[in-house]
Amino acid sequence: MHPDSIHVLTLAEADSEYVEEVRQILQEMAGLHRQEEGCLRFDVYADAARPGRFNTIEVWENAEAHKRHLNSALVTHSVMMLIGKVRGLPDIRMLEPINEMKE
């Protein structure tokens, strides 16, 4: 991993009638975000204990790459696709690795 990498965990919960649609949107978004410059990882997970709850784990090369991502038209489009389909605002957490695997 890069020494300046940015790690982000996002938690979002779909409204019950939109669970499958949100799952599909997140899968498509992940594929597109992975192509962004500076994206080292962008994975989506479904919470096994809470159907309809989804997590993304993102790793960006550095703060500049993460900022470009946040300001991109793709993020704006992604948010627009999810409005009205998820409960409240997503919980976005910046993570600080304390024990990384060596590659």
Q: Enumerate the domain spans of the chain.
A: 6-95
pLDDT tens profile 35-50: 999 999 999 999 999 9
Rounded CA-CA distance 85/79 in Å is 10
CATH architecture, domain 6-95? 2-Layer Sandwich (3.30)
pLDDT tens profile 22-36: 999 999 999 999 999
